[in-house]
Amino acid sequence: MTADGTSTPSAAAVAAAVRSGATKAADVVEQHLAAIAAREPEIHAFNTVLAEQARERAAQIDASVAAGNDPGPLAGVTVALKDNMCTRGVPTTCSSKILDGWKPPYDATVVNMLRDAGAIIVGKTNLDEFAMGSSTENSAFGPTRNPHDTSRVPGGSSGGSAAAVAAGFSQIALGSDTGGSIRQPAALCGVVGVKPTYGYVSRYGLVAFASSLDQIGPFASSVEDAALMLDVIGGHDPHDSTSIPQRHPSLTEAIQQGVEGLRVGRITDLPEGADPDVQERLDAAFEALRAAGATIVDVQVPAFTFGLTAYYLIAPAEASSNLARYDGVRYGLRVDAADTNEMYGVTRAAGFGDEVKRRIMLGTYALSAGYYDAYYGKALKVRRLIHDDFERAYQQADVLLTPTSPSVAFKFGSKGDNPFAMYLCDTYTIPTNLAGHPGMSVPFGTGAEGLPVGVQVLAGTLQEPVMFRAAAALERALS
């Protein structure tokens, strides 16, 4: 279902129809381009729409079906890509002025996998600059609007991808999640969003923000479509030394199983801060899983509450190092100056926005001699405590449920001049990234002003099958 209430066929159904020849990929593409033409001027989900490229690709897929070949499990499925994933010859901006004019010389591994599976990329989506933010208000190209209420943010940093799916611009989108950037916008836009186990999906060609936390994952209108997508993009990649070598079990098959006997954990010492309407939906989610045959158990994750603090040392530290390469020499923008040192400075001053500069300064400070042990080193120890606390909880529970976001979508500008208020949006999503575990947000009804609320399902390392089973049960409970 899209934000305006129209229901669209699932990606699974479209792929089946295109593979059998019953539906033309060309028609699927035209429908989505028409949706984009109608509402994109108001929503601004995209930095680049790839209309001609999508049409050419659809023609190839239709020709391949006509010749008796199988284009793959995502045949004719439209996909939007967050604009921090490299696409050969197509601008990849990270919504930053510093990458102005840069066109990658290669495709990210996920882009190759999508192509091999028959998917059609319709465009590159807007984000908070370098994926730093929770509202897309930090984009150098202006914010994306929430399709459910255009006076409100879509969440971030993958706000363009979430909005693209919610507005029916594409059936599936890819985002990246370092501290919640897939799950939080999914919750605010009323779609499914998944952050897999660290290493489940290759990061090759994903522009690095905080390399030990970044993961690519899907947005979709249903749990089944998210499973289909993750089945395609999950797997080992020799180009990414942190990608997990083993094969992943089929999530499309896993969701056929119910939740009878599953232990669902309620974290009794979860940090406070969720609005009453969000809390009410979380309580309803526990009830729904209990009614479906699961057992609810109380667990504790004491270090959960320190996640935000540890993240805002570790992520900026890694970012300060990763973003050092944007100096006007090799990529994008260069502002000329009298000598090279001055050129670095004026280029970076002109190219980066305020939030990115804030992170670079925080990270540089946390890593500097004399402060390293007190800040960065300490944060790494907290990270280990968070991981261990979660592992203990997963001995008692198969999955944990929490709110995804403390509130429904908020108004533009309502947190704009207070970075700490914005950082609090990630209270419930960040600890999972620090632990390296998977997490996903599932739409579970509406809260204040009729806006979507997401429930977060968390699970242990490589426990995606059980996480998806719980998510599918929540979805079924609402239908």
Tell me the three state secondary structure of residue 215. Answer: strand
Map the footprint of ligand GLN across residues 252-281, applying CB under 6 A: none
Show the 3-state SS of 25-91.
HHHHHHHHHHHHHHHHHHHCCEEEECHHHHHHHHHHHHHHHHCCCCCCCCCCCEEEEECCECECCEC
Near ligand GLN by CB under 6 A: residue from 154, 180, 351, 403: 180
Question: Tokens 């190839």 map to which residue?
Answer: 60
Cα–Cα distance measured from residue 61 to residue 439, given in angstroms and rounded to the nearest whole number? 33
Of 209 and 344, CB closest to ligand GLN: 209
Paired sense of beta strands 399-403 and 452-459, if any? antiparallel
Show the binding pattern over residues 186-225: x = contacts ligand GLN (CB under 6 A), - = does not: -----------------------x----------------
Measured from the CB of residue 326, what is the shortest distance to ligand GLN in angstroms? 17
Tell me whether residue 82 is one of the annotated catalytic residues: yes
Of 206 and 259, CB closest to ligand GLN: 206
Which token pair is 38? 């109608």
Of 133 and 199, CB closest to ligand GLN: 133
Q: Is the peptide bond before 170 cis (omega within 30 degrees of 0)?
A: no
Give the residue closest to ligand GLN by C-beta.
181
Tell me which stretch binds ligand GLN (CB under 6 A): 3-11, 179-187, 264-272, 333-341.
179-187
Asked if 179 and 201 count as a contact pair (C-beta separation under 8 A), the reply is no
- DSSP character for 211? T
Tell me whether residue 181 is one of the annotated catalytic residues: yes
Measured from the CB of residue 302, what is the shortest distance to ligand GLN in angstroms? 23
Measured from the CB of residue 160, what is the shortest distance to ligand GLN in angstroms? 13
Map the footprint of ligand GLN across residues 118-177, applying CB under 6 A: 131-134, 157, 177
For 198, other C-beta atoms within 10 Å of its C-beta total 22
Q: Which helix (H) or strand (E) holds 446?
A: strand 439-446
Measured from the CB of residue 215, what is the shortest distance to ligand GLN in angstroms? 9
Of 398 and 426, CB closest to ligand GLN: 426
Measured from the CB of residue 323, what is the shortest distance to ligand GLN in angstroms? 13
Of 275 and 355, CB closest to ligand GLN: 355
- Which residues, in sequence order, are bridge partners of residue 195? 439
Of the candidates 24, 82, 124, 195, the residue annotated as catalytic is: 82
Map the footprint of ligand GLN across residues 296-325, applying CB under 6 A: 315
Amino acid symbol at 49: V
Of 71 and 431, CB closest to ligand GLN: 431
Near ligand GLN by CB under 6 A: residue from 23, 181, 222, 252: 181
Of 131 and 462, CB closest to ligand GLN: 131
Near ligand GLN by CB under 6 A: residue from 161, 178, 427, 456: 178
CA 445 to chain centroid, in Å, comes to 20
Of the candidates 96, 157, 161, 170, the residue annotated as catalytic is: 157
Near ligand GLN by CB under 6 A: residue from 118, 179, 436, 438: 179
Of 200 and 209, CB closest to ligand GLN: 209
Tell me whether residue 134 is one of the annotated catalytic residues: no
Asked if 429 and 185 count as a contact pair (C-beta separation under 8 A), the reply is no
Asked if 362 and 316 count as a contact pair (C-beta separation under 8 A), the reply is yes
Cβ contacts of 342 within 8 Å, gap of 6 or more: none
Asked if 25 and 69 count as a contact pair (C-beta separation under 8 A), the reply is no
Measured from the CB of residue 116, what is the shortest distance to ligand GLN in angstroms? 27
- Using CB under 6 A as the binding criterion, the count of chain residues that bind ligand GLN stands at 13
Measured from the CB of residue 130, what is the shortest distance to ligand GLN in angstroms? 8
Asked if 242 and 453 count as a contact pair (C-beta separation under 8 A), the reply is no
- Which residues, in sequence order, are bridge partners of residue 446? 452
Cα–Cα distance measured from residue 381 to residue 420, given in angstroms and rounded to the nearest whole number? 23
Of 133 and 265, CB closest to ligand GLN: 133
CA 189 to chain centroid, in Å, comes to 12
Of the candidates 161, 170, 181, 221, the residue annotated as catalytic is: 181
Measured from the CB of residue 217, what is the shortest distance to ligand GLN in angstroms? 11
Map the footprint of ligand GLN across residues 373-432, applying CB under 6 A: 426
Measured from the CB of residue 404, what is the shortest distance to ligand GLN in angstroms? 12
Adjacency order of strands within the sheet including 78-82: 46-49, 120-125, 78-82, 172-177, 215-220, 192-195, 439-446, 452-459, 399-403, 263-267, 295-299
71 φ/ψ angles, rounded to the nearest 5 degrees: -70, -10
Cα–Cα distance measured from residue 220 to residue 175, given in angstroms and rounded to the nearest whole number? 11
Residues marked active site are found at: 82, 157, 181
Interface residue list for ligand GLN (CB under 6 A): 131-134, 157, 177-181, 209, 315, 426
